[in-house]
Amino acid sequence: LFSAVEMAPRDPILGLNEQFNADTNPKKVNLGVGVYFDDNGKLPLLQCVQAAEQKMMAKPTARGYLPIDGIVAYDNAVKALVFGADSEPVKSGRVATVQAIGGTGGLKIGADFLKKLSPNAKVLISDPSWENHRALFTNAGFEVGTYAYYDAEKRGVNFGGMLASLKAAAPGTIVVLHACCHNPTGYDITAAQWDQVIEVLKAGKLTPFLDMAYQGFGHGIAEDGAVIGKFVASGMNFFVSTSFSKSFSLYGERVGGLSVLCQDKEEAGRVLSQLKIVIRTNYSNPPTHGGAVVAAVLSDPELRALWEKELGEMRVRIKAMRQKLVDGLKAAGVKQDMSFITSQIGMFSYSGLSKDQMVRLRNEFGVYGTDTGRMCVAALNSQNIDYVCASIAKVM
């Protein structure tokens, strides 16, 4: 049965973890996967999460099946976070939200639903995009193309190219957009540029699918989420996937969501019924713990304030590490101007290093980033920064 099965390549991001774990270099540094570590190199357990868990432990509950679409309080908290608690879409009940297994799960539920709805639509992702976008939409049965995004020479966004690609897309095309903290480049478009993109999407009758995996890592929770308000104001129907992996440091709990903005409450009910079929036929219903923790934090004013403070600290530390990286590279003898690193945003820096340089970094120095040159600056700390800078300087 399996004699013709080919060996699949390692995952370009998570596959690096396997290689990193097997590496015996005592100085190894993992800048591959997008995970935030504190300045001691430790994965944080947020205080708001601990407090919520302690409250839950004080009143232990049995674990029955959750509803197919997840915990009601969780779904409501996601809606409020993404659209605003007092926003018109939430008040009028025209958002269909489901709990999902991480942001990836939210994308996949949306992709499977869209495949049934528009089987012949094409999907466009940014060039480049998160490695899993192409694979996920391809596996959902779509033909996946790209829209122009990164301008390597300018070290920024090729905005003219982006608009031109979107203008050329056929009506009904599904356009995957990074709501904030573009992965992998770290370059976001400005608020005014979002307005232009939205105009083009609307005029071209394209379907926006926003991936919001890093809300709060750019400029702040509200600031990063502001783009959603712009989409709402446009009158379009659209999809938003949410992830709490990074913002709650709950990677392994797989806590995410999918929200679909519909025309009215009745339509949202019909859409929700279809999303539930996708979930039921894939994994039946979501797990209990992570969703319960996030719902508890987001619905308790004190814990929510603590979460915002802790998320703010992560954001500020990442920014500080960007500056240290720029300074450290200069001190290590890199002649090239690397100051672009501080104009990037979110967890990643698109370093501009070639695949060969990234492979050398990994093999000779145990410094892991993706082959595309992406490095997770959220994993830099005061102990590993000098070593990372010296290693990069050697391969440059």
Helix (H) or strand (E) holding 100, with range, is strand 95-101
Of 108, 112, 130, 324, the active-site residue reads 130
Structure tokens of 323?
A: 């500056």
Least distance in angstroms from the C-beta of 264 to ligand LMR = 34
Residue 246 is among the residues annotated as catalytic for this protein: yes
Q: Toward ligand LMR, which CB reaches closer, 173 or 344? A: 344
Token pair 């090239």 is at which residue? 336
Q: How many CB atoms lie within 10 A of CB 59?
A: 6
Q: Toward ligand LMR, which CB reaches closer, 90 or 348? A: 348
Residue 151 is among the residues annotated as catalytic for this protein: no
What does residue 349 show for φ and ψ, rounded to 5 degrees?
-125, 130
Q: Rounded to whole angstroms, what are the CA distances from 91 to 48, 73, 87, 224, 270? A: 28, 15, 6, 21, 18
Token pair 């301008």 is at which residue? 151
Of 75, 246, 307, 324, the active-site residue reads 246
Least distance in angstroms from the C-beta of 225 to ligand LMR = 18
Least distance in angstroms from the C-beta of 10 to ligand LMR = 13
Of 69, 75, 211, 224, the active-site residue reads 211
Q: Toward ligand LMR, which CB reaches closer, 198 or 375? A: 375
Q: Which residues pair with 223 in a beta bridge?
A: none
Least distance in angstroms from the C-beta of 157 to ligand LMR = 19
Q: Residue number with the shortest CB distance to ligand LMR? A: 34
Environment class of 371 (CB within 10 Å of its CB; exposed 0-12, middle 13-18, buried 19+): middle
Distance CA 51, CA 49 (A): 5
Least distance in angstroms from the C-beta of 74 to ligand LMR = 21
Q: For binding to ligand LMR (CB under 6 A), which residues are involved?
A: 13, 33-34, 130, 132, 183
What amino acid occupies position 99?
Answer: Q
Q: Toward ligand LMR, which CB reaches closer, 13 or 210? A: 13
Q: Toward ligand LMR, which CB reaches closer, 186 or 286? A: 186
Residue 116 is among the residues annotated as catalytic for this protein: no
Of the candidates 279, 389, 283, the one whose C-alpha atom is nearest the C-alpha of residue 328 is 389
What residues are annotated to the active site? 130, 211, 246
